[in-house]
Amino acid sequence: MSSGLNISQQEAVNYMHGPCLVLAGAGSGKTRVITHKIARLIQAGVEPARIAAITFTNKAAAEMRERARGLIGKDAGKVLICTFHALGVRMMRQDGQTLGLKAQFSILDSDDVVRILKDAGGTTDAATARTWQWTISKWKNMGLNAAQAEAQAQDDNERITARIMARYEERLTAYQSVDFDDLIGMPLKLMRDHEDVRAKWQKAMGHMLVDEYQDTNATQYELLKWMVGERGRFTAVGDDDQSIYGWRGATLDNLRKLPVDYPSLKVIKLEQNYRSTSAILRAANNVIGPNPKLFPKTLFSELGEGEPVRVVDADNEQHEAERAVARIQSLRENSTHKEWRDFAILYRANHQARVFEQALRRAQIPYKVSGGTSFFDRAEIRDLCGWFRLWINNDDDPAFLRAVTTPKRGIGHTTLASLGVFATQYKLSLFEALFSSSLPSVMPKRAIESLHEFGRYINDLEYRARHCMGAQNARAFLDDWLKEIEYEKHLYDGEDSEQAAASRWGNVMEFCDWMAQRCGGQLQDDAGSDNVPGEQRSLLEVAQTISLISTLSEREQDQNVVTLSTLHASKGLEWPHVMLIGCNEGLLPFKLDDDEGRQQKVEENTLERLQEERRLMYVGITRAQRSLAVSWTKKRKKGREMVAARPSRFITEMALDKTTAKEDPREKLKALRAEFAKRAADTAAAAAAADTPQPTGTTPAST
């Protein structure tokens, strides 16, 4: 079981009866500790179903499941390996009724939230709604409800936002919906306020393991605390240098608090990096160097010096993309790692991907974009799928709510709230409820008429879709339907810029073509169709396969393709060859244009932000196993103009190499350790002199 683990890793894996924190740099095998510990716990007799491993993204969870299956076989399937949010969903499905939520509640995406906020706040301006969204999310992560938020509001702006929050929450209740923050906040409420639920979950959790612990926020910390209870059987692994979600409320306080809240906490450090060559690791250590440290650490690698880190200067973004493609092609000729999946192109912001996508397409190199929004996750596509799901299953309540409100059809949230209460009371789906003969006792006649009209329309669509065969007919059907519900108008009304609306409408058209093609036969310009000629299917049948789409995109993972990813989404992953693009001042580190000339508060933020950008760069560099290239452009587009641009300061910092190149990091580590030991001894002596009690098991305070 302990094969393939060093002594410190084994120690972490074998320590099962109390709280354990593994604090270590990138690529040192923290995630490996988690998978091996799952196996060890099962071997020690803990039931697989009582083990929960929490990861940061769905993708990381999928990968961990895969690794666990390799180690333990089919028992891995019984272990709960998921994100904090997925754990929240599970808890709410089981126990949400305690808080008045139906088991079939729906989860709103960011676009849904903005739309509801526009309605709640009486605005059509998406930017304003997004500001509210941001503030409300912040409050929710602090555990505040609307009333509490209003009570603590500092100015009129906050007071107004708090009132909008109250209206927003009313709508969420009416729609039986929750937003992302609720998926942590509501389970926390359940655990804190309901002793029976708490007892049940604490009993269910034999051991909890948390990966990427440095990126948990305050509510996640609380939730974890309630779930593990007094026994504190958990293992958290993390790296303070990789904390990159401060902007979303993640806090390193969670690392600092742990030894205080759990005095028996066992802290284990790992120092060997098994991922990258020394050249790559040195660049990483140099970049992260200037940041303040929570504890001393320097990573070393025994994989040899390897290729030097390459700095590429390009004229502009097109040129940068061409150079990246050329690099991929040349490495494929000359490296032992030549599968497409061995390459990743990483960047700071989503919009940077487009030029690279185009260049890869031209060179016929297969790729996938991760970390951005997949086509099928786009709000407009999910809108249409909401309707399809309702044709197929009238009892799909979230689909019902999406369809009945998108576009708006004069059925307001008061009507939907009454319908929801009625449906819950009589244990009916919303669709069944609207045809119930008892409904007139709970709502006015006009509201019922609108609901009936909607219900009949759905039945009619379902009938027509069932009998609509072949591509041509399907396409015509979809066009008619979109006209009937005035979807194009809805898009243009909801967007501030015509361009954004047009792009959404373009997606809708593309999706309709795709659907129609799957109905068989030929569309007018249907060259690339993968249909068997002659075989025709009904539109309803095709709509049914829509539910498979999410599984389809999961399968993308094993495809042999080049990865394009944001730095944020690359966390925890590794590739033999990595290209870090757009390493320009202003982009990485990222700088908001309106920064200059604002008050002190912003200035203070700037230093913290720079530290976070530095960690982001560190994350990017440490994804590379064998080769790393960082590129920057001499000119960048700003609005419509091309302006001169400078290389990122991080590039200069990486190149500090020359003087430290031959320094053995282990020597540096020894010196650092001695320094910290001395500082800890000094602190202890000072504390003894002042007769203050010392907390046990803490790491030295930050410098």
Ligand X SMILES: Nc1ncnc2c1ncn2[C@@H]1O[C@H](COP(=O)(O)OP(=O)(O)OP(=O)(O)O)[C@@H](O)[C@H]1O
Annotated binding site for ATP: 24-31, 275
Ranked by CB distance to ligand X, the top (closest) residue is 29
Structure-token pair, residue 113 = 């939230």
As a three-state string, the secondary structure of 521-567 is CCCCCCCCCCCCCCCCCEHHHHHHHHHHHHHHHHHHHHCCCEEEEEC
Set 31, 235, 251, 633: catalytic member: 31
In the numeric block, the tokens 């998108």 are attached to: 406
Does position 386 bind Mg ion by CB under 5 A?
A: no
Total of residues contacting ligand X (CB under 6 A): 18
Residue 192 is among the residues annotated as catalytic for this protein: no
Q: How many Cβ atoms from other residues are within 10 Å of residue 93's Cβ?
A: 14
Does position 570 bind ligand X by CB under 6 A?
A: no
Q: Among ligand X, Mg ion, none, what does residue 75 contact (CB within 5–8 Å per kind)?
A: none
Site for Mg ion in 545-574 (CB under 5 A): 572
Q: Among ligand X, Mg ion, none, what does residue 5 contact (CB within 5–8 Å per kind)?
A: ligand X
**What is the C-alpha to C-alpha distance for residues 615 and 621, in angstroms, rounded to an integer?**
10
Total of residues contacting Mg ion (CB under 5 A): 3
Residue nearer to ligand X on the CB measure, 10 or 137 = 10
Residue 119 is among the residues annotated as catalytic for this protein: no
Residue 212 is among the residues annotated as catalytic for this protein: yes
Find the shortest distance in angstroms from Cβ 268 to ligand X: 12
Does position 614 bind ligand X by CB under 6 A?
A: no
- Residue positions forming the annotated binding site: 24-31, 275
Set 37, 297, 571, 623: catalytic member: 623
**What is the C-alpha to C-alpha distance for residues 250 and 682, in angstroms, rounded to an integer?**
32
**What is the C-alpha to C-alpha distance for residues 556 and 554, in angstroms, rounded to an integer?**
5
Task: Kindly give, in sequence order, each residue whose CB lies less than 8 Å from that of residue 149, ignoring residues fewer than 6 positions away.
Answer: 136, 139, 158, 161, 162, 165
Find the shortest distance in angstroms from Cβ 275 to Mg ion: 10
56 within 8 A of 86, measured Cβ to Cβ? no
**What is the C-alpha to C-alpha distance for residues 314 and 634, in angstroms, rounded to an integer?**
6
Structure-token pair, residue 691 = 């007769």
Set 57, 242, 415, 517: catalytic member: 242
Residue nearer to ligand X on the CB measure, 275 or 537 = 275
Q: Can you give the length of the chain in residues?
A: 703
Site string for ligand X, 520-539 (x = CB under 6 A): --------------------
Task: Kindly give, in sequence order, each residue whose CB lies less than 8 Å from that of residue 73, ignoring residues fewer than 6 positions away.
Answer: none
Among 23-31, 110-118, 156-164, 665-673, which window interacts with ligand X (CB under 6 A)?
A: 23-31
Set 181, 211, 397, 612: catalytic member: 211
Does position 243 bind Mg ion by CB under 5 A?
A: no
Residue 623 is among the residues annotated as catalytic for this protein: yes
Find the shortest distance in angstroms from Cβ 337 to ligand X: 13
409 within 8 A of 449, measured Cβ to Cβ? no
The DSSP bridge partners found for residue 272 are 300
Does position 31 bind ligand X by CB under 6 A?
A: yes
Find the shortest distance in angstroms from Cβ 4 to ligand X: 5
Q: Among ligand X, Mg ion, none, what does residue 275 contact (CB within 5–8 Å per kind)?
A: ligand X
Residue nearer to Mg ion on the CB measure, 184 or 619 = 619
CA distances from 513 to 307, 368, 478, 543 (A): 47, 22, 9, 13
Residue nearer to Mg ion on the CB measure, 434 or 573 = 573
3-state secondary structure of 587: strand
**What is the C-alpha to C-alpha distance for residues 469 and 322, in angstroms, rounded to an integer?**
45
Structure-token pair, residue 377 = 């996750």
Strands 177-178 and 106-107: parallel
Among the listed residues 8, 12, 23, 29, the single contact to ligand X using CB under 6 A: 29
User: How many Cα atoms occupy the beta-carbon half-sphere of 685 within 13 Å?
Assistant: 6
Residue nearer to ligand X on the CB measure, 150 or 240 = 240
Site for ligand X in 239-278 (CB under 6 A): 239, 242, 274-275
Footprint of ligand X (CB under 6 A)? 4-6, 9, 26-32, 239, 242, 274-275, 572, 574, 622
Catalytic residue annotation: 30-31, 211-212, 242, 623
Binding site for Mg ion (CB under 5 A): 30-31, 572
